[in-house]
Structure 1
Amino acid sequence: MMQYFATPLRPSQQTTHSLRASQYRPSRKRKRDDDSEEPPPLAPPVASPRSDSASGLTPPPEPFPHHPAKHVRNTVTNAKLHESIAALNPPVFAANALSRAQPVRGHSQRSTLRGSHLDILTTTMHCCLLAGDYDRADRAWARILRTHAAGNPLDPRYHGRWGVGAELLLRRRATTHVSHQDTESKTQQNQTQPGDPAHIYTRHGLELAQDYYERLIIQYPFRKTSPNAVDARAFYPPLFTTWIRAILDRSRRDRSQYQEHLRRRSSSAASDDAEDDTIVLSLEEIRTQELSHAQELCERLDQVIISPPFDKHTELLFLRGNVGLWISDLIVGRTPIAAGQDQQAAWDDMSMTDHSDVNAASESTDNQRKYRQSLHQLHLARDFFTRAETHGAGSLDAAKAGIDVRIKSLGKQMSTFD
């Protein structure tokens, strides 16, 4: 039912309206008879230039719609003045006769002279290396490192120059203090051939090279943003190789000194049993010292390869396997293999006289402990060789087969203690 009175609701809330409101409310529907025949609205009139100028819409002048050309200032510089004066006929100024500090056409003569000086130093260094004059090559290399290019020092990593620096350090000799042992070593070196690999590198040079690699590792660490750069991944293998060489050279030098001492005593007078025991103990101390140094190196190597990206470094994994074999030999007291001796025969012919003494019980326990440690190092070496194969080291079946033979040999020797 239609309402006759207004409701208290707001107009937006109403659904029905009063009679008066309904009668006077405009209809929203279009009537059929109300077809409009009015013409469509006309288009806006075209603006005339007079109306545009009156309204301020006059188009801008040329080069509209293009951007105007930039205004170039003709700056007069000293170089342009020199060139203009030199271009006169006859010329009253020589443009190429300037001082070294004043550039001509943006180029300085100082950089050219520095480049020529660097080329001369590089040529001198390589000539001295070919001639075997390592002292002069070392001085030339030091001057190259002190040379700056564009305000920055030279990077020794380019073109493998860091290896040249290491080789020069390996051949450097100590000049501050010369002891009696150093004099004897120099005498022996002069008696040997110049190309003897056992006397090319000095003890002082090995220490300097090791410190050199340590500095390079700290200065150029591995960064994920530079995967192809020469960084610590390239410096760790030569560091550990130099470290191993230093340990082996020290043991070799000590053994040669004891052998020389034994020859002197035997030539002067016959040595008794007590003196023989002293020599054996001295050799045992050398082996123990070498074992302690090898274990120290092994701990450092394990700390490196425990974290990425060195846990997949092929050279370090292969090196760790060889270090395990080395430590295994030192634990059981095996002497170095002579030249031309079969490695398998050396392990099969290992002396078993250690458990034939009077104190067989105590020595048997000590030998069991040593053999267990040696066996553990062999298993670790085999695991590292397997990891190296996994990460692209190639086939190491021969090395793993040799380790299996050693494990069987140790197992047979350990069975004799039961």
Structure 2
Amino acid sequence: MPPTAHHFTPVYPLHEPQQSFRSKQYAPPRKRKRQQDPNDDDESEDSESHTEPIQSSVSSHDINNPYRVAGWPRDMPLPGLSFPHAPAIKQRSRQPSSDNLQKELAALKPPLYVPPPGELDNTSSLRRHHLGVLTTILHTSLLKHDFVRAGRAWGMILRTSILGRPLDVRTHGRWGIGAEILMRKFLPQNNLHGESSNTSTISDEGFEAAKDYYERLILQYPFQKTNPSAISSLTFYPAMFGLCIYEIQQKCNQTLKRNRNSSLDADHSDSESESNRNLESEGIAALKRSELDSAASLAARMDELMLSPPFDTYPPLLQLRCSVALWLADLYMSAAGPDDDDDENKERASTERSRAKRCIERMKAAGVTIPELILNGLD
């Protein structure tokens, strides 16, 4: 006999699970039915039929007492208006991109420029440490007046390269240190043991080495209109002319000092003393004429340079040429010999004073403050 339907009937009655009133009250609401095709009703009913109510463990007493549910004492004020919820998390501001950051830095006054990533030295720390050691040796040797060792350290610094690029002599004032070392390293009193030397006196070899050094810098770094603020020949010319003025004055002072010492050491009769005084006066006059010739040659070179821009309006050059003009005016009046024409010397002195006044006018037009020494020299 084949099985009938009653053979598959379960032995226990089918009924829905009993739920309390509280469970039904706090059961999650069912989702709203989507708009579907009539053919999909079976699937939606099946999905809803599988939704089981969630049993809640919260009692009716806890619902009426939110302080107890939150675990907060009644005698303490609530932490905030958003209690018991946490405040909204603020979104972090976007980090500025590297391009925008570089533009903002470049717009500052004075501008700041970030080097490209390729110029950032992250791997050559050993070379940078080596450069720092050489710089320390350089400045220590300068403090001890050991200019020979300072010159060696300075030469090693110039031969040091970072990321395959040699160091620029113009950065960090190295060009000025190089000229100072060249002027002092030929002193006979100087040695490698740091003994004191007369650094106020410069030898002829030192002057020539320093002037040749400035000439090389002028040719190597000419002035460029595209980068007018860079250290160039516009910076080196005043330094070289100032060195030439110092050389002329030092030679004259040394010669004058030797003449005076020789006259004091001489112990002769009255007739010989009179002749010595005559020789001394003649020597001073010859010394003044030599100083005049050297100063006039320097002024001619400065005038030739200042015929073209930007040297004709550069304030340091104008101030230096004004000082040389006043110096020449005094020399024309004091170095005149017995055979010289006084009127001609007076005319040359007047010409130099007029040149000094023109330099002062250009300096005022550039907004430069005139030193009192120059203004007193015109009176």
> What is the TM-score of this pair, normalised by structure 2?
0.61
Q: Which amino acid aligns with 2:288?
A: R
The answer for the alignment partner of 1:383 in structure 2 is: 358
Q: How far apart are the structure 2 equivalents of 1:142 and 1:326?
A: 37
The answer for the alignment partner of 2:302 in structure 1 is: 301
* Fraction of identical pairs, as percent: 34
SS at match of 1:332: helix
The answer for the alignment partner of 2:167 in structure 1 is: 154
Q: Is the 8 A contact 2:363 2:370 kept in 1?
A: no
**1:336-351 matched pairs, under 5 angstroms:** none
Which consecutive segments of 4 or more residues in structure 1 shift more than 6 A? 194-197
Q: Is the 8 A contact 1:320 1:381 kept in 2?
A: yes
Q: How far apart are the structure 1 equivalents of 2:373 and 2:128?
A: 52
SS at match of 1:221: coil
Which residue among 111, 116, 125 is the counterpart of 2:138?
125
Q: Which amino acid aligns with 1:124?
A: I
The answer for the alignment partner of 2:77 in structure 1 is: none
Q: How far apart are the structure 2 equivalents of 1:153 and 1:225?
A: 23
Instruction: From the superposition, tell whether residues 145 and 324 of structure 1 become closer, same or farther in structure 2 (CA, over 3 Å).
Output: same
Deviations 1:336-370 (A, max 9, x none): xxxxxxxxxxxxxxxxxx8xxxxxxx86x811111
SS at match of 2:348: helix
Q: How far apart are the structure 2 equivalents of 1:124 and 1:268?
A: 54
Deviations 1:219-265 (A, max 9, x none): 10001111221101111111110000000000001111111111122
Give the C-alpha shift of residue 200 in structure 1. Answer: 4.8
The answer for the alignment partner of 1:394 in structure 2 is: 369
Q: Which amino acid aligns with 1:312?
A: T
Give the C-alpha shift of residue 312 in structure 1. Answer: 0.8
Q: Is the 8 A contact 1:389 1:396 kept in 2?
A: no
Q: Count matched residues.
A: 253
The answer for the alignment partner of 2:343 in structure 1 is: 368
Q: How far apart are the structure 2 equivalents of 1:108 and 1:386?
A: 52
Q: Is the 8 A contact 2:222 2:233 kept in 1?
A: yes
Structure 2: gaps spanning 5 or more residues = 1-120, 190-195
Q: How far apart are the structure 1 equivalents of 2:211 and 2:269?
A: 43
Instruction: Report the RMSD for the aligned CA atoms in angstroms.
Output: 2.8
Confirm or deny that 1:214 pairs with 2:219. Answer: no
Q: How far apart are the structure 1 equivalents of 2:201 and 2:214?
A: 19
SS at match of 2:235: helix
Structure 1: gaps spanning 5 or more residues = 1-106, 176-185, 187-193, 336-353, 355-361, 406-418
Instruction: From the superposition, tell whether residues 215 and 398 of structure 1 become closer, same or farther in structure 2 (CA, over 3 Å).
Output: closer
SS at match of 2:179: helix
Q: How far apart are the structure 2 equivalents of 1:300 and 1:285?
A: 23
Q: Is the 8 A contact 2:131 2:160 kept in 1?
A: yes
